[in-house]
Amino acid sequence: MLKQLEELKLKALQELTDINHIKQLEPWRIQYMGKKSTLTTMLRRLASLPLEERKTAGARANQVKADLEDSRRQKEQALRKAQLASHAKEEIIDITLPGWPVPTGRLHPITQTFNEICDIFADMGFQIVEGPDVEWDYYNFEALNIPEEHPARDTMSTCWVETNRGEKPRLLRTHTTSVSARTIERIAPPIRVMAPGKVYRYEASDATHIPMFHQIDGQVVDKGITMADLKGTLYEFARRFFGEERRVRFRCDYFPFVEPGVEMAIGCLVCNGQGCRLCGHSGWIEILGAGMTHPRVFQLGGIDPEVYSGFAFGIGIERLPMLRYGIDDIRLFYGNDLRFLRQF
């Protein structure tokens, strides 16, 4: 048996020397050290040998097995090292090449506009306030000088919320001016606040209308506030948001909660005031409504209009990036098309 073990070892080592691929090692291991290999069979035959011969043959068989396993391990290491060296020669890696770009998330263009506007007014001393989306009829209409029979209610297609009998009527707010009504009721002057948020109108979607959009309302209350303060504040906003050279125009308009009321327009960003389809060939595009706060609104909020005065304004958020970037359909902001959103 000792002679057979030596012959087996020499044969196995000779075949191991001829192996030149790592995949050939496993068949070799199975052939010489597997459960059905010649070496395993010889180990099983040890029980039939005399005691002294069994000890000698058993020790030698175990040594042969250990030598073969060690040789296999060394061969595997050598083959792996050669394989890596071969790949290194075949595959040249240029470490100066830029890596693959990793996609990163960004803020939605409406959120970006929100943040930019809030930063502009915060620099002018305004404080950010918020209010509920589901609002009482009182704060959305009555506290803003829009009683039940007022025709201005018909211009705001309202989404009413079902209530129990005897409860006060509630609705999805049609403008964030309702937050201004709450603010002058609970904060003593001087007041300088911005109220950003979502507003809702019961109307069909098209290129310029959607049932949910965003507004920012501003409110200033103090002694001696005049129309000059209103115009100066809004002119500064337009200058910072649209650029130093952007022209601004104020014209009279009507809103129930201000008197007098104005609309503010900027020179068309597409035609630079020459007239085009976007501005209706007028050269101007309206961006917000404003005015001096109506004395009746002050009275309902518990502020003496004989002592204090103030102004208010409301900005439709979606309109501003549409004008700045030449977007012709408001629905693009909410279509979740990444090709559109990645531009911002």
Query: Tokens at residue 228, please?
Result: 């000059």
Query: Is residue 145 in a domain?
Result: yes
Statement to judge: residues 79 and 118 lie in one domain:
no
Statement to judge: residues 15 and 137 lie in one domain:
no
The CA–CA distances, whole Å, from 58 to 1, 5, 44, 72, 144 equal: 10, 10, 10, 21, 103
Query: Is residue 74 in a domain?
Result: yes
Tell me, what amino acid is at 331?
R
Query: Tokens at residue 65, please?
Result: 């097995």
Query: Is residue 188 in a domain?
Result: yes
Please indicate whether residue 46 or residue 104 has the higher confidence score (pLDDT): 104
DSSP code for 134 = E
Reduce the DSSP state of residue 129 to 3 states and report it: coil
The rounded distance, in Å, linking the Cα atoms of 273 and 284 is: 6
pLDDT at residue 200, as a whole number? 93
The rounded distance, in Å, linking the Cα atoms of 314 and 219 is: 9
Reduce the DSSP state of residue 276 to 3 states and report it: coil
Mean pLDDT is lowest, of 11-25, 112-126, 246-260, 297-311, for 11-25
Residue 22 scores a pLDDT above 90: no
Please indicate whether residue 156 or residue 235 has the higher confidence score (pLDDT): 235
Statement to judge: residues 138 and 218 lie in one domain:
yes
Statement to judge: residues 169 and 216 lie in one domain:
yes
Listing from the earlier edge strand, what are the strands of the sheet with 170-172?
A: 134-136, 170-172, 159-161
Query: Is residue 223 in a domain?
Result: yes
pLDDT at residue 105, as a whole number? 83
Torsion angle, CA of 230/235/241/243, rounded to 10 degrees? 180
β-bridge partners, 212? 200
Terminal Cα-to-Cα distance of the chain (whole angstroms): 82
Residue 318 scores a pLDDT above 80: yes
Residue 202 scores a pLDDT above 70: yes
Predicted TM-score (pTM) of the model is 0.66
pLDDT at residue 41, as a whole number? 73
| Residues of the domain holding 288 | 109-341
Please report, for the domain that includes residue 149, its CATH number: 3.30.930.10
Q: For the chain, how many structural domains are there in total?
A: 2
Residue 278 scores a pLDDT above 70: no
Statement to judge: residues 76 and 219 lie in one domain:
no
pLDDT band at residue 303 using 50, 70 and 90 as cut-offs: very high
How many Å is the Cα radius of gyration of the chain? 41
Contact 310, 219 (CB under 8 A): yes
* Average pLDDT, integer, range 174-186: 92
Query: Tokens at residue 36, please?
Result: 């059905």
Q: How far is CA 24 from the centre of its chain?
A: 53
Statement to judge: residues 193 and 68 lie in one domain:
no
Reduce the DSSP state of residue 299 to 3 states and report it: helix
β-bridge partners, 200? 212
Q: Within a 13 Å sphere around the CA of 287, how many CA atoms are in the beta-carbon half? A: 27
* pLDDT digits 0-9 by tens, 137-147: 999 999 999 88
Dihedrals phi, psi of 258, to nearest 5 degrees? -135, 155
Statement to judge: residues 251 and 120 lie in one domain:
yes
Statement to judge: residues 152 and 57 lie in one domain:
no
How many CB atoms within 10 Å of residue 69? Answer: 13
Residue 58 scores a pLDDT above 80: no
Query: Tokens at residue 43, please?
Result: 């180990």
Query: Is residue 95 in a domain?
Result: no
Query: Is residue 99 in a domain?
Result: no
* Average pLDDT, integer, range 200-208: 86
Beta-carbon contacts of 219 under 8 Å, excluding residues fewer than 6 positions away, are 180, 183, 184, 191, 192, 193, 195, 293, 310, 311, 312
Listing from the earlier edge strand, what are the strands of the sheet with 212-222?
A: 127-128, 191-200, 212-222, 309-316, 284-293, 258-267, 248-253
Statement to judge: residues 120 and 13 lie in one domain:
no
Statement to judge: residues 58 and 115 lie in one domain:
no
